[in-house]
C-alpha cells in the first residue's frame, strides 16, 4: 500500500518551468542573431508579449534578474538592467495567471520599502509575486550607495537573514481578516489584528506595522540563487524555490540532495523547496541543425567581451592568454575578490578541472548562458534531458534561458513543452491563480494570528 501511495505521488509530480527573461537573450551575442529585435529591448510591449507567450504555454512564472550597478562590458552585449518591479507591474496588467518573480537585494534595499513594493505587486497581480533574494557581491554596487567597500560575504548573509525575518513580520503584520470594510457598521479595519512588529536587531530597527493589508499569497514566494555554503544554509532555511547553475547531472543531484536534507533538518517539508537549475536550449529539427544553430552563436562571440566576463567571474585576467592555449587549473589559485561569488567561481574551476579546455572553448561554454546548462539537439533530446534530471533527483524543474528572443523561446514553447505534456510531466492548464498554487506551496498563516490563537 505504501509503495502504491509513493508511486501515485510521483505520478502527480509536475515540472516547474519559468521563463528567465534577460535583455537580448542569454547568449552574450543573442542580440546580434538574425531575427532578434534589439530595437525593442526598452519597449514594454516586447516583454508583455514574451510573458503572454509563456502564459499561453502554461509556464509557472517569468523571472527578471537585477543588480544595482552597471557591471558588464556594455560595449559588446545587451547587459543593462531594468528595475524588475516596475516592469513586472506592467506585465501583470497584460497577463492573468503567470507568476512574476523579480530580484531585489537585501544589501541595498530597506526592509520596509521592499515589503511595500512586493505587497503592491502581489495585490495588483492577484497573488503572483515572487521575490528573488540576493545579497549582491559585485563591488561596483557599493559605490552607488555611498559605501567605501562591499560588505563581506558573511556580513551580507547575516544582514540578509535579519532582512528576511523583518519583511516576513511586516507581511504578517496584518491578519487575514483585519480588513473589514463594512459600510453598515462603519468599521473599516479591526486594528486589534494589525500588529506593530517592534523589531530591534543588529542591522535594523523597524516598528511596523506595514501600511498595506495582507496580500493574496500571505507572503510572496521566496526565491534564492546562492550556492555557496552560506547560500545553501540560507536557502534551506528561507527559500521556497532555488535558482542554481550546474553543468552536470551529478553536480545537480548532489546540490539537490544537500538542500533537501538541510531543509528537512530544519523541520521544513523538502517538497516545499523547489530546485530549479537553468537550462539554455539550442533547438533544431535534427541534431545537425541544432549544432549549426549553436555554431552560429559561437561565431558571433567577441573575445574581448568574453574574457572580461571571465575575469568578472574568476578575478583572473586572461587577456594575454592565447585563445587556443589550454587554461591551466593553477591560473585560479590566487584568484581575488571574485571569490565572493563563490558558486560561479567554483563552476568555472570545475569545468577547467574536468575538461581541460582552451581559452576559446571555455569562453564559448560560458557565453551560452553564463555557466548554466546548455543543451544542443532536437526537441526530443531537450525533453529527454529535462526528464532525466527531473526523475533522477537533480531538479524539480528549470529556469528556461533562451539564447535569443523571441524565436528562441517560441521554439521551446511550441516544440518541447508539448512533448513534456504528452509524457505527463507538465500541466495541461493552470489549476490555480497564484504563484504559490502553481508551485504547489502552502499559503503561510500570519505569525501574529497564530500567536493570538495560541494564547486564546
The binding site for FMN consists of 66, 103, 153, 157, 227-228
377 bridge partner residues: 283
**CA pair distance 200, 182, nearest whole angstrom:** 35
Is residue 397 helix, strand or coil? strand
Q: What residues form the annotated binding site? A: 66, 103, 153, 157, 227-228
Measuring CA to CA, how many Å separate 28 from each of 25, 47, 69, 74, 398?
7, 19, 18, 11, 20
Residue 413: DSSP 8-state: I
Q: For strand 221-224 and strand 129-134, is the pairing parallel, antiparallel, or unpaired?
A: parallel
Number of H helices, E strands in the chain: 17, 13
Nearest to 369 by CA among 271, 430, 442, 281: 281
Cα 275 to Cα 398: distance, rounded to the nearest angstrom: 8
Q: Where are the alpha helices (DSSP H) in 271-341?
A: 287-298, 303-314
* 335, three cell numbers: 584568484
Q: What is the DSSP letter of 174?
A: B
Nearest to 278 by CA among 376, 402, 380: 402
Residue 319 to residue 311: CA distance in whole angstroms: 9
Residue 311 cell numbers, joined: 575575469
Q: Are 249 and 394 in contact (CB under 8 A)?
A: yes
Amino acid at each position: 500500500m505504501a509503495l502504491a501511495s509513493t508511486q501515485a505521488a510521483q505520478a502527480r509530480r509536475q515540472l516547474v518551468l519559468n521563463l528567465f527573461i534577460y535583455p537580448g537573450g542569454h547568449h552574450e551575442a543573442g542580440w546580434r542573431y538574425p531575427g532578434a529585435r534589439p530595437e525593442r529591448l526598452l519597449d514594454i510591449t516586447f516583454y508583455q508579449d514574451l510573458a503572454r507567450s509563456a502564459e499561453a504555454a502554461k509556464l509557472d512564472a517569468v523571472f527578471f534578474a537585477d543588480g544595482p550597478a552597471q557591471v558588464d562590458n556594455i560595449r559588446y552585449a545587451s547587459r543593462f538592467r531594468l528595475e524588475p518591479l516596475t516592469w513586472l507591474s506592467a506585465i501583470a496588467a497584460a497577463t492573468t495567471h503567470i507568476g512574476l518573480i523579480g530580484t531585489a537585494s537585501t544589501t541595498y534595499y530597506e526592509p520596509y520599502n521592499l515589503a511595500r513594493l512586493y505587497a503592491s505587486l502581489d495585490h495588483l497581480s492577484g497573488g503572483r509575486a515572487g521575490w528573488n533574494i540576493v545579497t549582491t557581491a559585485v563591488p561596483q554596487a557599493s559605490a552607488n550607495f555611498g559605501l567605501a567597500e562591499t560588505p563581506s560575504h558573511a556580513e551580507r548573509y547575516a544582514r540578509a537573514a535579519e532582512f528576511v525575518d523583518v519583511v516576513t513580520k511586516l507581511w504578517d503584520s496584518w491578519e487575514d481578516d483585519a480588513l473589514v470594510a463594512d459600510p453598515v457598521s462603519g468599521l473599516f479595519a479591526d486594528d486589534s489584528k494589525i500588529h506593530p512588529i517592534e523589531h530591534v536587531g543588529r542591522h535594523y530597527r523597524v516598528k511596523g506595522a506595514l501600511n498595506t493589508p495582507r496580500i493574496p499569497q500571505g507572503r510572496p514566494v521566496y526565491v534564492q540563487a546562492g550556492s555557496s555554503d552560506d547560500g545553501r544554509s540560507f536557502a534551506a532555511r528561507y527559500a521556497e524555490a532555488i535558482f542554481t547553475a550546474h553543468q552536470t547531472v551529478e553536480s545537480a543531484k548532489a546540490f539537490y540532495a544537500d538542500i533537501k536534507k538541510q531543509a528537512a533538518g530544519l523541520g521544513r517539508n523538502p517538497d516545499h523547496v523547489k530546485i530549479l537549475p537553468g537550462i539554455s536550449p539550442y533547438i533544431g529539427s535534427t541534431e545537425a541543425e541544432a549544432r549549426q544553430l549553436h555554431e552560429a552563436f559561437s561565431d558571433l562571440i567577441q573575445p574581448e567581451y568574453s574574457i572580461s566576463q571571465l575575469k568578472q567571474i574568476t578575478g583572473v585576467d586572461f587577456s594575454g592568454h592565447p585563445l587556443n592555449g589550454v587554461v591551466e587549473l593553477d591560473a585560479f589559485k590566487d584568484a581575488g575578490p571574485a571569490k565572493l561569488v563563490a558558486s560561479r567561481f567554483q563552476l568555472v574551476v570545475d569545468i577547467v578541472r574536468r575538461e581541460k579546455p582552451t581559452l576559446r572553448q571555455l569562453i564559448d561554454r560560458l557565453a551560452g548562458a553564463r555557466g548554466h546548462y546548455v543543451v544542443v539537439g532536437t526537441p526530443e533530446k531537450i525533453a529527454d534531458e529535462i526528464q532525466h534530471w527531473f526523475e533522477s533527483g537533480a531538479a524539480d524543474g528549470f529556469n528556461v534561458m533562451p539564447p535569443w528572443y523571441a524565436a528562441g523561446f517560441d521554439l521551446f514553447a511550441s516544440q518541447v513543452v508539448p512533448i513534456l505534456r504528452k509524457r505527463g510531466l507538465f500541466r495541461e492548464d493552470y489549476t490555480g491563480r497564484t504563484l504559490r498554487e502553481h508551485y504547489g506551496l502552502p499559503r503561510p498563516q500570519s505569525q501574529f494570528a497564530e500567536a493570538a490563537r495560541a494564547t486564546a
